[in-house]
């Protein structure tokens, strides 16, 4: 049964009692048993996770592929392998904070390292398409909170409530609440297993969706490229601003006065371009000059500019000569959804690993502190400082 309670303006609490019943059924599966043993290792890494009841061998089955696929490069992968999602979280916050400070001190205008993600709304540098974003966030909430719930049930804690908060039609939060008395009375190891389950499930979803995305890309890319060649004209320009921000610095547009919104870039250096990716590939080539052929009002015009690695346009989309087959649109949507779903899953997992009390990592680190000489307060202070630096560009 689903019950909806309207609160302030467009804020709704959706309680789904049937969700709890479904979690009770899932809690008996072998995967949940694996998740509760491997979760602490993924959250803290093999060096620390074993002190709160984690099984290192099982944890490595997820930790190794997660570290190999982790965004941020080789150092992020190494820290993830050693210290789990919390290590990745600290690295990503620290590297972003360093880039922000460096950009400030070299006279640039850095972009914020963190910010809200609202489907269909551009907030600073953060944007995801509406439909793909809405579906991704909804599924991620169900996966994350459902994982907490099934492990709590398996640990005998029971569940009191399950709900999702909707702002308008955008899911903004969700929770699954174990029986508080039973949760607090349980062992630190059991509590960490429940807490670590959410990030664990999101990481597994990230790994599986990334593998599927790569596999689909390999299989369908030749087919989609053929459709582009047969049906597309080029890349339609959406906006030509006076300046464009790259790596925190405002650079003058190289095509201001040469391109206008609605122009279609047909080719660059005699290479046909159909997507933004095609344009970026040419820009990153060794060409010193860019010879750009443009379709404007049914007339072809051309001009040349120096190749500085960018054009100075904002936004671009495929311009079609004739409508593409339906399967192209379906495949494009699926690839876009898998990309967004994959990235948001690992971001949710990593963010939840931070040692703040309102997040999974903060609650788990306090239990780890009881089992090992880990200074949770120092970790929280370091994370707070890095987070403040990442937020700073929003206000300066």
- 8 A C-beta contact, residue 265 and residue 294: yes
Mean pLDDT, range 327-352, rounded to an integer: 94
Task: Identify the band that residue 132 occupies on the pLDDT scale cut at 50, 70 and 90.
Answer: very high
Task: Identify the band that residue 248 occupies on the pLDDT scale cut at 50, 70 and 90.
Answer: low
Task: Identify the band that residue 1 occupies on the pLDDT scale cut at 50, 70 and 90.
Answer: very low
> pLDDT: is 22 or 3 the higher one?
22
- Is the model's pTM score more than 0.75? yes
- 8 A C-beta contact, residue 291 and residue 268: yes
Q: Round the average pLDDT of the chain to a whole number and report it.
A: 88
Q: What is the DSSP string of 56-119?
A: HHHHHHHHHHHHHH-TT-HHHHHHHHHHHHHHHHHHHHHHHHHHHHHHHHTT--PPPS----BT
pLDDT of residue 301: 92
Q: How many percent of the chain have pLDDT more than 90?
A: 53
CA angle 283, 284, 290 (to 5 degrees): 30
Contacts of 318 (CB under 8 A, 6+ apart): 228, 232, 235, 236, 274, 275
User: Rounded distance, CA 126 to CA 380, Å?
Assistant: 26
Burial class, 280, CB count within 10 angstroms (exposed 0-12 / middle 13-18 / buried 19+): middle
Burial class, 339, CB count within 10 angstroms (exposed 0-12 / middle 13-18 / buried 19+): middle
Task: Identify the band that residue 123 occupies on the pLDDT scale cut at 50, 70 and 90.
Answer: confident
Look at residue 6 and tell me whether its pLDDT is greater than 60.
Answer: no
* Phi/psi of residue 331, nearest 5 degrees: -65, -40
Look at residue 67 and tell me whether its pLDDT is greater than 60.
Answer: yes
Task: Identify the band that residue 396 occupies on the pLDDT scale cut at 50, 70 and 90.
Answer: confident
For residue 73, how many other CB atoms are within 10 A of its CB? 10
Look at residue 12 and tell me whether its pLDDT is greater than 60.
Answer: no
Look at residue 116 and tell me whether its pLDDT is greater than 90.
Answer: no
Query: Which tokens is 230 given?
Result: 């047969």
pLDDT of residue 7: 43
> pLDDT: is 92 or 9 the higher one?
92
Task: Identify the band that residue 4 occupies on the pLDDT scale cut at 50, 70 and 90.
Answer: very low
- 8 A C-beta contact, residue 258 and residue 303: yes
Look at residue 13 and tell me whether its pLDDT is greater than 60.
Answer: no
The HSE-up count of residue 278 (CA atoms within 13 Å, CB side) is 23
Q: Which domains does the chain have, with CATH numbers?
A: 2-220+334-394 (no CATH), 239-314 (2.30.42.60)
Query: Which tokens is 60 given?
Result: 């490595």
pLDDT of residue 297: 87
What are the pLDDT digits (tens) for 177-213?
898 899 989 998 999 999 999 999 999 999 999 999 9
DSSP at 50: G
DSSP at 123: B
Query: Which tokens is 69 given?
Result: 């696929």
User: Rounded distance, CA 42 to CA 86, Å?
Assistant: 9
From 80, 124, 85, 98, select the one nearest 386 (Cα to Cα): 98
Query: Which tokens is 124 given?
Result: 């600073």
> pLDDT: is 168 or 316 the higher one?
316
Mean pLDDT, range 165-174, rounded to an integer: 75
> pLDDT: is 191 or 109 the higher one?
191
| Lowest mean pLDDT, pick from 20-29, 34-43, 261-270 | 20-29
Mean pLDDT, range 344-348, rounded to an integer: 96
Alpha helices in 8-73 (DSSP H): 17-26, 30-44, 46-49, 56-69
């Amino acid at each position: 049964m689903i019950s909806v309670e309207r609160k302030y303006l467009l804020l709704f609490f959706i309680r789904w009692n049937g969700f709890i019943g479904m979690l009770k059924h899932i809690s008996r599966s072998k995967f949940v048993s694996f998740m509760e043993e491997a979760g602490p290792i993924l959250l803290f890494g093999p060096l620390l996770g074993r002190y709160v009841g984690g099984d290192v061998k099982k944890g490595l089955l997820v930790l190794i592929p997660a570290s190999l696929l982790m965004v941020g490069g080789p150092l992020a992968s190494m820290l993830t392998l050693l210290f789990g999602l919390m290590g990745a979280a600290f690295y990503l916050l620290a590297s972003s904070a360093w880039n922000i400070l460096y950009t400030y001190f070299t006279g640039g205008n850095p972009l914020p390292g963190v910010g809200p993600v609202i489907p269909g709304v551009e907030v600073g540098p953060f944007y995801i398409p509406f439909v793909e974003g809405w579906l991704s966030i909804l599924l991620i909430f169900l996966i994350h909170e459902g994982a907490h719930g099934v492990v709590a049930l398996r640990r005998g804690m029971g569940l009191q409530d399950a709900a999702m908060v909707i702002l308008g039609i955008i899911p903004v939060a969700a929770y699954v609440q174990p029986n508080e008395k039973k949760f607090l009375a349980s062992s630190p190891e059991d509590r960490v297993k429940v807490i670590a389950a959410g990030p664990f499930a999101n990481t597994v979803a990230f790994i599986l969706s990334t593998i599927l995305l790569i596999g689909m890309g390999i299989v369908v890319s030749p087919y989609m490229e053929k459709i582009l060649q047969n049906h597309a004209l080029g890349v339609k320009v959406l906006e030509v601003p006076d300046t464009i921000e790259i790596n925190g610095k405002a650079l003058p547009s190289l095509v201001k006065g040469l391109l206008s919104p609605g122009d279609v870039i047909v080719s660059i250096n005699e290479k046909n371009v159909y997507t933004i990716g095609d344009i970026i590939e040419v820009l990153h080539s060794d060409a010193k000059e860019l010879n750009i052929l443009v379709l404007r009002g049914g007339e072809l015009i051309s001009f040349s500019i120096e190749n500085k690695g960018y054009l100075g346009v904002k936004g671009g989309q495929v311009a079609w000569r004739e409508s593409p087959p339906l399967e192209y649109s379906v495949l494009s949507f699926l690839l876009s959804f898998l990309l967004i779903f994959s990235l948001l899953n690992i971001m949710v997992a990593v963010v939840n690993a931070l040692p703040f009390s309102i997040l999974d990592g903060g609650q788990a680190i306090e239990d780890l502190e009881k089992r090992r000489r880990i200074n949770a307060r120092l970790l929280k202070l370091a994370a707070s400082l890095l987070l403040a630096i990442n937020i700073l560009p929003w206000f300066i």
